[in-house]
Structure formats: structure tokens, C-alpha cells
Amino acid sequence: MTSRYPNLFSPLKLRNITLKNRICSTGHDTCLATHTIPGEALAAYHRSRAEGGAGLIVIEVAGVHESSRYTADMILATDDRCIPGYRQIADACHDSGCVVIGQLFHPGREILAAPGGTAPVAYSSSATPNERFHVMPRELPKKILQEIVTGFGEGAARLTGAGLDGVEIVASHGYLPDQFLNPRVNFRQDEYGGSLEGRLRFLRECISAIREAVGDKLIGMRISGDSFDPDGLRREEMIEICAALDGDGELDYFSVTAGSSATLSGSIHIAAPMGGFDNAYVAPLGKVMREALSKPVMVTGRITLPSIAEEVLSRGEADICGMTRAMICDPELANKAREDRADEIRECIGCNQACIGHMHLGYPISCIQYPESGRELKYRRRLAAPKPRTVWVVGGGPGGLKAAAVSSERGHAVTLFEKSDQLGGQALLAQRLPGRADFGGLVTNLEKELRRAGVAVQTKTEVTSAQIRAEAPDAVILATGARPRTVEIPGLDEAHVLRAWDVITGKERAGKSVVVADWRCDWIGLGVAEQLARDGCRVRLCVNGMMPGHTIQQYVRDPWLGRMHELGVEVIPLVRLHGVDSDTVYFQHTTSGGPLLCEDVDTLVLSMGHESVCELEAELEDYPGVVKLIGDCLCPRTAEEAVLEGLEVGSTI
Ligand code: SF4
């Protein structure tokens, strides 16, 4: 059954333990620990991936010293309170034959806030500022340096004592070990700076402390094969560093990722988004490392499908593939591949919205396509409906698709109605934005779930309240979505004014000089501005927020801001649309209230958000059956909320 993936499903020996396959969930923050302690929710999360067939799970970072707290609730391995939780995770993974390792971590200067919300006393190899968080650290005093080295050893003892198979030291992404290695950050005059030997000393001491603590268990090291940061470590430097450590013989594998937390351009690679980053784009860095090192190499970076992982392995670019977001999106990925059910895999689209997007907001991670992720304690198993009912779902956007699939899986007789000829709703439009083609995968994946669940689908069918009353289904789920918000401003009749969606679909053409008024500050304003600029228009992007893309995940937004710059789009932040005439658009500054005029304008393009399409709600007010609203029909937001509400209503109806 695994003949399609001979490399992916071949075992691999690491020191004295064997991985059953080459599929790894790499360390990633989940925000599922509570008050710095791993517990039931995190164990359930990893159990799900282990049961889904992963060969190796690396648990997220655990701080090794009080000064390592880079988020309020990150796991701390600084005392024994973490041990029961790690034991729970170890048991959960081992039950399915999955090897499990825990990361040990110190961020150094890559730190935003102390637990109480004040600016922390940040430490680094030297007092070298960080560009992204605007942190000026202190040079790490030797006393604290030694405490941190000891902390790595003691943390390793706790994790492996709890039953983990080893630990991974995080020397990637510009974190503390990297800050010691980097000659453009480390300017120390003592034995921890200067030559490569000096800059390696801190990391070597940490590794020795860990080896002493863990005996024969695994020690891996995560590194950035290239920081993609002007002052970060470069690939030739990383090869030299890794070769030196490989020669010491203490490490059992190298996990190669890319990027750096220290700059916006480097941080994008922590979770590279759709648009501009090919699948497995980090793999060539793995190959270079593999050629230079004696120990196995793991690579990560948008390896979204088993077929892509198999190619990476067969090209000799890695020994193990990190498929982290791939398994946030589909925890059963490995089993589906092994059982020749790869066509059932829900492929990650690289939107970053609910996984790292949630983490950056301090909330438990999830997935816009699979909201069960991160909510395993509540949604891991579908419970059969106590009494099968007839369910009508009105609207075939992402929320309607999910609600219909889940309701049907639970035993209801479900029919989904969509008034257009195609399922997908606004997601069909979103995939037409520049760099957002992968977003269409959301529809493809949900539609596959819908078909597998046996939902009856009627497209080109606009359902009326009279029909509902006549046929009398037991339950009606309204998922009728939203339409572009209409705005009333002076001068609309005098000017050439278009809606963003009409420009994106090519239904309307803008003139040569365009102002985009972007209230929502999401993908749409950025997308339409990019499209118009690529068409040769002069574009002024006037946004109501602090910057274009203000409301979207930063690794999606930041490269897009770079593209705006390269395309010559003029960005005007903090403005409120006030009026328009034949060649001028009038704005007000959102804080001063002062006027701001854009002159010589041919076309004003409106990206002003949406309003609900929910007429059926009032018409069904006295309907005797169940009526539920989900998604934009309930309140205009994004696909994530629509799919989650589809899951919620489908699970309870
Ligand atoms: Fe992938 Fe988006 Fe899901 Fe994150 S939220 S796992 S990027 S599909």
C-alpha cells in the first residue's frame, strides 16, 4: 500500500531508536499549555497527530530559564511542574508508535513582553538591537549565561525523565544560540565571542549539559539553513557551524528550517505563506547540509503533501520531512498516504490565519479548513445524531459546506442548495486575488468532504421561504453569505466608482489613475491594488487602518507590503473616505480629522467590507423547525469563522 511513497515510509534509525516513517510534526507554538504547564489539551492535540500516523513529533519550545519567557504562557521546563504534562504527551505518542521529542529554548533578544506586560530585560550575546521588535538587549552576564547552560541540562533531564525520547535545542531563527554564533550580533570580548571557536562555546556547553543529562537519548538541533536576513547567519556560515558540531559527535540529527525572527524579511520564513514561496522551497538548503554532515537531516517549509515529501527524500534533500502545518490541517495525513487514500488529504493552503495567526494573537492554534485542530477535546470524534433529521443548508460557501458535511456524517439526511452554478461562495473570488490562488484549495477540500459524507447538492437553486415551509425540513442552516457593503458619500454619481470584486473578476475596468479606498484592511485592498499596479495603473491605496493588511496575519501581509513598494503603489494610512467628484477623492485623517485629497483620479475602487445576506432569517422567524445562521450571513467576517460555525452547528443539530 505504501509503494507510492517508498522513501517516506521507510524506517530511519536515530541513535538507538527507529522512526517508523519520515513524517515529522516539527516544534511549533500551540498556546495549548496552561499557565506554562503542558496538559490535557496539548496531549490530545499530539495524540491526534500520533494516531494519524506521524513517525516523529517534536513538542513546542520550553523555556530553560526565567529570562526565556517570550510569551506569557509558554511552557517552562525550569521546575518539575511540567513533568506530568510531558508524561501525558509521551504516553499519547508512544501509544501509536510515534517517537516524541521536546524542544528546549531561549529566545535571547527575540522577546516582546515580560509576563506582566512590561518590557522585559532582554539578554543577548551582546547589546545588539533587534530590528523587528525594537528591543535593545543587555550583554548576557556570565553568571546568567551559566544559569542558562545549567537550565538546558536540567530541562533535558525533566523532559526525558517524563518519558520523551530526547530533546531538540532550538538554535534557529536568530534565537539565543544563533545570537552567540552570529559575528554581526556577537561582539563579546570574552571567551564566548571572537573566533568561531569562541562563538560556538555557548552552544557547545549547552549541548554538553544536555548530553550529560539525557545519557543515550536523542539530541537534535534546529538551525536556519539561511536566515534570509541581511545581518543574519548565511548558509556558508551555517554549514561551517553545523560541520563543527557534527564533528563533536553529540548531536543525532539536524533540523533545517529558514529565516530569522530578527527582521520582517527573515521572520516570514518561520511560516512561509501562500504566494511567492514554492512547496518545499527550503529543501535545497537541506541537501547542502546533508552533503556536509554525517547525521540525518530534516527539512521543513511548505511540504504540504506526501507526494512532495517523497520527492524531497528521493532527491536526497533530506532524511525526514517536517510537515507541520500539513498535519495541523490534516492530522491523519500519514495514515491516508499509507493506506492509499492520499486523495482524501486536506492540503494546507498556507493562509497562516488560524495556526500561527492565532498564536500571534495569544490564542490556541487551529486551522481555517479543519477547526477541529486545537479543539481535540471537544471535536475529535463525531457523535452520531440521537435522531436522524432532514437538514437543509442554504448557501454553498465554506460555512455551508462544512455544516452540511458534518451534519451528514452524524447521520442526518442533508441537502445543500447553492444559487450559483458553483460551490465556494466568496472563496471563489478570493482565489482570484494575486498570490491567493491556493485559497481555492479550501473549496476543493471542503467539497471533497461534502461528497464523501453523501450530501445531496443542488446548485443553480435559490431557495425561498415558501419552499422551506412547503417541504418542512426539520432544520434549516442559513449560510447565505454577504454582499459588498454599500457606502453613501457625496459625489458618487459624478465619479467613476467601482467595487473591488468587479475589478478582480474583470467585470469592470478601471482608468489609468486609481484610488483604492480600503476600509477593511485585508486581502482585498492589497489584492486589487496589486492587480491594478501590474496592469500599469497609477495606484494610491488609501487605508482606514495603520497599514494595508492591518487585519491579516503578519507573514501574509509583510511580503505583500514589499510587493506594494516594488510596484510603486503609494500607500496612505489612517484615512476615512469622505467624498468623491469627477477627478478628486476626499478623505479625512482618522485621528486629526483633517482633510486629505487625492487629485487627478480616473477611478475610485471601493473595498469597504461586506454586509450580511440574511433576508430568509426574518421570513422564517415563526418557522416551527430549527433555524440556524452561520458565517457571513450571521455577521460578515472571514472563512475561518464560517467553517468553525459550520462545524459547531453541524455537531449539535
Ligand atoms: Fe494551513 Fe491555513 Fe490551516 Fe494554517 S490555517 S494549517 S496555513 S490551511
Distance 368 CA to ligand 1 centre (A): 6
Give 370's Cβ-side CA count (13 Å radius): 24
Q: Strand 23-25 vs strand 99-105: parallel, antiparallel, or unpaired?
A: unpaired
Distance 327 CA to ligand 1 centre (A): 9
Pocket test for ligand 1, best of 25, 270, 277, 367 (most atoms within 8 A of CB): 367
Distance 305 CA to ligand 1 centre (A): 13
How would you label 483-497 residue by residue, b for 16+ Cβ within 10 Å and e otherwise? Answer: ebbeeebebeeebbb
Distance 324 CA to ligand 1 centre (A): 10
* pLDDT in the model for residue 114: 80
Cβ atoms < 10 Å from Cβ of 188:
21
Cβ atoms < 10 Å from Cβ of 626:
15
Distance 311 CA to ligand 1 centre (A): 22
Distance 485 CA to ligand 1 centre (A): 28
Distance 347 CA to ligand 1 centre (A): 9
The three-state secondary structure class of 173 is strand
Pocket test for ligand 1, best of 274, 353, 555, 638 (most atoms within 8 A of CB): 353
Q: Grid coordinates 548576557 are at which residue?
A: 140
Pocket test for ligand 1, best of 304, 328, 330 (most atoms within 8 A of CB): 328
Q: What is the mean pLDDT of each run of 10 residues along the chain (653 residues)?
A: 86 97 98 95 98 98 95 92 98 98 98 84 97 96 98 98 98 98 98 98 98 98 96 96 98 98 96 94 97 98 98 98 98 98 96 97 96 95 94 98 98 98 94 93 96 98 97 98 94 95 95 98 96 98 98 96 98 98 97 98 97 97 97 97 98 96
Could you tell me if 154 and 214 are in contact, meaning their C-beta atoms sit under 8 angstroms apart?
A: no
Q: Which three cell numbers stand for residue 519?
A: 476600509
- 597: which strand partners? 586
Q: Which three cell numbers stand for residue 313?
A: 527524500
Pocket test for ligand 1, best of 324, 348, 442, 523 (most atoms within 8 A of CB): 348
Q: Residue 651 gets which letter from DSSP?
A: H
From residue 167, give the alpha-carbon distance in Å to each of 21, 38, 206, 306, 378.
19, 16, 12, 26, 30
Could you tell me if 83 and 161 are in contact, meaning their C-beta atoms sit under 8 angstroms apart?
A: yes
What angle do the packed helices 235-248 and 196-214 form, to 10 degrees? 40
Which ligand 1 atom lies nearest to the CA of residue 441?
Answer: 8
pLDDT in tens, 106-129: 999 999 878 788 889 999 999 999
Q: What CA–CA distance (Å, rounded) separates 383 from 562? A: 47
Of 484, 479, 456, which Cα lies nearest the Cα of 397?
A: 479
* pLDDT in the model for residue 116: 81
Distance 330 CA to ligand 1 centre (A): 10
* pLDDT in the model for residue 453: 97
3-state helix, strand, coil in the chain (%, to 5): 35, 20, 45
Q: How far is CA 111 from the centre of its chain?
A: 20
Q: What CA–CA distance (Å, rounded) separates 371 from 304? A: 18
Of 519, 554, 542, 538, which Cα lies nearest the Cα of 636?
A: 519
Edge-to-edge strands, sheet with 538-543: 497-499, 603-607, 513-518, 538-543, 570-572
Q: What CA–CA distance (Å, rounded) separates 579 from 592? A: 17
Distance 498 CA to ligand 1 centre (A): 32
Q: How far apart are the first and last CA of the chain?
A: 38
Q: What CA–CA distance (Å, rounded) separates 110 from 85? A: 26
Q: What CA–CA distance (Å, rounded) separates 131 from 110? A: 10
For ligand 1, atom 3: residue with the closest CA: 367
Which ligand 1 atom lies nearest to the CA of residue 354?
Answer: 5
The DSSP code sequence of 453-466 is TT-EEE-S----HH
Cβ atoms < 10 Å from Cβ of 558:
18
For ligand 1, atom 5: residue with the closest CA: 367
Give 423's Cβ-side CA count (13 Å radius): 27
Q: Which three cell numbers stand for residue 611?
A: 454586509
Distance 108 CA to ligand 1 centre (A): 28
Instruction: For ligand 1, say whether the CB of 325 is within 6 Å of any of its atoms.
Output: yes
Pocket test for ligand 1, best of 368, 370, 445 (most atoms within 8 A of CB): 368
What angle do the packed helices 639-652 and 398-409 form, to 10 degrees? 20
Cβ atoms < 10 Å from Cβ of 267:
23
Q: Which three cell numbers stand for residue 282?
A: 527550503
Cβ atoms < 10 Å from Cβ of 620:
17
